[in-house]
Amino acid sequence: MMLIGIELMLNAANLNLIAFNTLYPSSVDGRFFILFVIVVAVCEAAVGIGLVLRVYHFYKTSLPDQIRDLKEKA
């Protein structure tokens, strides 16, 4: 789960950076780019949550350090 938190922290930092980028007047590109970044972040979060639930169902853990094997346990 910490991976998702880190991803969203990255997205928030990205949004903050683009908000500083809109300090250039007479340009609305930055604001629309924020919109599309939000769209991409939402897609990533949805797929990420699905993956995490699937991994947890399979490995019975959600810590990335404890997920070691690719193959199903015999």
Partner 1 sequence: MNVVAIITYILAIVAAISAVAILFVKEVFHAAMLLIICVLCVAGIFATFNAEFLAVVQLIVYAGGVLVLIIFGIMLTVREREETSNNRILSSVIGLLFFSVMVYSLEGIQTGNTSTDLSPEIIGTLLMTQYAIPFELSGLLLLISLIGAIMVSTNKTQP
Q: Which residues bind partner 1 (CB under 8 A)?
A: 1-2, 4-5, 8-9, 12-13, 15-17, 19-20, 22-28, 31-32, 34-36, 38-47, 49-54, 56, 61-63, 65
Closer residue to partner 1, CB minimum distance, 20 or 73:
20
Which of 71, 67, 39 shows the shortest CA–CA distance to 52? 67
Question: For residue 15, what are the CA distances in angstroms to 36, 62, 68?
Answer: 10, 28, 34
Minimal distance, residue 36 CB to partner 1, in Å: 5
Rounded Cα distance, 3 and 1, in Å: 5
Closer residue to partner 1, CB minimum distance, 35 or 74:
35
